[in-house]
Amino acid sequence: MRRAISWSLSGAGGLAAVTAVALVISAVASDGDRPAPPDPGPMELVAFRGASSCDSLLAHFRDTARDLVGPFGLAGPGTFGLDVASGREGVATADQPKAARAPGAAATSGTSGTGTNVQVAGVDEADLAKLSDDLLLTLTGGALVVSRVQVTSAGGGDGRAELLGSLDLPDLAPDRLLMVGRRAVVMGSPALDAGSTGLAPDAPEIEGMIAPLRSVAPTTRLVEVDLTDPTRPRPTRMLDVRGSLVGARLVDGVARLVISSAPTLPWTAPRDGRSLDVATRSNRRAVERSDLDTWLPPATLSTLAPDGKVTGEPERGRLVECEDVAVPRTFSGLETLSLVTVDLRPGATGLASRSGTAVVATGATLYATATTTYVATSPWQVPVATNPLRPGLTAQGNDDQRTRIHLFTTDSDGSPRYAASGAVPGSLIGQFAMDEYQGHLRVASTTEPERTSEESESQVTVLTRDGRRLVTVGSVGGLGRTETIKSVRFLGPLGYLVTFRQTDPLFTLDLSDPAQPRVTGELDVLGYSAYLHPVGDGLLLGVGQDADAYGRVTGLQLSLFDVADPAEPRRLDRVRLPDASSGAENDHHAFTFDHGLALVPFTRRLVEVGDNAYDRGVLAIRVNGRRLAAPVVLRTSGLDEPDQGSPGYDLQRDYQSAVPLRTVVTKQAIYSVTIRGIATHDVTDLHGIGFTPYPTAGPQPAR
């Protein structure tokens, strides 16, 4: 039983008849009417240096933790207890100067040389699929699979991807990788990793007390793989680090890894309110007895045999030394936020050739350029009570909602250095909320109301480096009152920001003068764009959700915006798919734009079939000038629509296995990656070529 997709397209060209939705161009208040966001104030970090620095660093950890520790340990990430971390990783008026014109923005970002959609051109991002020459690497089911692509009939194949080899990673739950030539680094956590624990060997026997209390610290595992013979991928080294991987980038063959590591301490905890004070004193003693190994992340480097077994004695030490750690004067957490570089260029020793630096802070969001790396932390909440057993005692946020941002630079040899820190009001939606342009960092953030009588609002803050500080030089606030940011895109001197509650205001911003950023235009449409991508001079493509007048989302929507004149943004065209969503709404790596073709994976609930019936595939939509062509669906399940009415049809298995995760484009073909295999389509006429099942994927859908 084949199911037809219900499409809805609209635009000036009248591709299909649909209910019209009004586009409202609203006048924008003058700069004087728009309040500036609150000044978060300066923030300084001081690095400890010299032989005595280790004692000073340990004293900082102990003194800071002592004030926060309670009967349930240290409140915050990585521990059980009271959590103190709150993570949230128009028309210009006549007297305004003429706004900057939209640049040809497509060169500022796009698809990397490894086939990944990236934020900054030349800065690759770790992902679950990577392309190098004719090799396609994918992660699936705990294995690294190597395939050859661009195989044609003249070259001995039928055009589909050809499996060459695979590497089982039984001790790793892989979720991303980087690739340089014939070398790859696979990243994840040890399989079944429950986290390291700090258990009190001498926990006191206290009546009514549970002892010890588990302190959890996850582990990041990196496995280096030699692909000299792609039919036999060979693991060579493995690096284990206590902490969570915030993100990874690759510039000119040198990887940058950001890892956030929580301390492990032996806590005790009370069973009831009778022993709260005793537990608090016990936990404070644990802090006083802590050493640097409690706070700084350990790292273990192992050499691997071809079968993946560890050979020889592993090298154990710290990921960073105490003299490489900067300590903030403003509290930013008690985790160690490390930036480590790994040289993956030919002739380098990979995971064995690394260097690092760190700050004492949490880290949630990573943004990088060719020479700089920014890591943003979440606003902190300070606990005013440490007894969750008593009603009415809760954690209370401080009045100062701020996101701290830490800047690292990279030397010519690839070594990282901590450079400066600053802060902006509110919280960030993700990496696209930050952008560096001509020595200035632009940051879009949303400030949530502290009280029910207040409203949320968004702002853009412009920072520059002044010594060890990132200082505010300009800002514009009052954007999207009562709404939150859904997507951001900075392109050269311009910025685009989408907020949403019931409608989708697309704000255009002129950032050409860092000291006086201003809103130049605003476009109100129903629904919202969760991801914005430049698709030509003055053109943006938005991927998100359509919505009704009450703000209820109704399905996937792709919108083509004309932003050539920032004072008058317009929506030129759109494509809608009811009851559908896309992974590209939450992860830009799922989106691809190549050959003038937008590729958007989707899943769609088939309401007419039943509550548990779904369809999936890749929407292929060509951007033809100022119009969107009729979409074509690229099937990833045997290149045919599922026969959901046949006997023995396993809906759950088929749905999960055929959900498209990534698309990679070459000169000849489009490769859609699923957890069970790779579907191939012709890049010119989009016809299906074939489906290549992974060797361990089990039964495949019929072709």
| β 336-343/350-360 pair status | antiparallel
Task: Tell me if 651 sits within 8 A of 643, measured CB to CB.
Answer: no
Burial of 337 (0-12, 13-18, 19+ CB in 10 A): buried
**Percentage of the residues of the chain whose pLDDT score is greater than 90:** 59
* pLDDT, tens digit, 9 for 90 and up, residues 327-340: 877 778 889 999 99
Contact 520, 508 (CB under 8 A): yes
Mean pLDDT of 31-57: 59
Instruction: Please name the residues in contact with 129: beta carbons below 8 A apart, sequence gap of 6 or more.
Output: 115, 116, 136, 137, 138, 139, 661, 662, 664, 673
pLDDT at 12 over 60: no
Work out the pLDDT band at 31, boundaries 50, 70, 90: very low
Residue 385 has a pLDDT of: 33
Read off the pLDDT of residues 402-455 as tens digits, 9 standing for 90 and up. Answer: 899 999 999 888 889 999 999 999 999 999 999 999 999 999 999 987 766 578
Would you call the peptide bond into 38 cis, given omega within 30 degrees of 0 as the criterion? no
CA dihedral 241, 78, 54, 237 (to 10 degrees): 0
**Residue 695 pLDDT grade (very low, low, confident, very high; cuts 50, 70, 90):** confident
What DSSP string runs through 515-544?
TS-EEEEEEEEESEEEEEEEEETTEEEEEE
Which stretch of DSSP H or E encloses residue 311? strand 310-318
Torsion sign over Cα 57, 62, 65, 66:
negative
In the predicted structure, residue 11 carries a pLDDT above the cut 60: no
Contact between 215 and 264 under an 8 Å Cβ cutoff? The reply is yes
Each residue's pLDDT tens digit, 100-135: 444 444 345 678 889 999 999 999 999 999 999 999
The pLDDT, as a whole number, for residue 13 is 39
Q: Which residue has the tokens 């006086």?
A: 516
**What pLDDT is attached to residue 251?**
96
**pLDDT digits over 366-408, tens only?**
999 999 999 998 765 333 333 344 333 333 344 457 899 999 9
Sorted by sequence, the CB contacts under 8 Å of residue 392 that are 6+ apart come out as none
- pLDDT given for residue 8 in this prediction: 52
**pLDDT at residue number 277:** 85
d(CA 241, CA 231): 30
The arithmetic mean of pLDDT across residues 566-578, rounded, is 97
Q: How many residues does the chain have?
A: 703
Name the average pLDDT for the chain. 81
| E strand residue ranges, 119-171 | 124-125, 129-132, 135-140, 143-148, 162-168
Q: What is the pLDDT of residues 605-646, one digit of tens each?
A: 887 777 677 889 999 999 999 999 999 999 986 544 444 444
Name all contacts of 522-526 with Cβ < 8 Å and 24+ positions apart.
522/25, 522/26, 522/28, 522/90, 522/569, 523/23, 523/24, 523/25, 523/561, 523/569, 523/570, 523/571, 524/23, 524/24, 524/25, 524/26, 525/21, 525/23, 525/24, 525/559, 525/571, 526/21
pLDDT value of residue 454: 73
Give the integer Cα–Cα distance in Å for 230 and 122. 25
User: Could you report the per-residue pLDDT of 466-485, keeping only the tens digit for each?
Assistant: 999 999 999 999 998 888 89
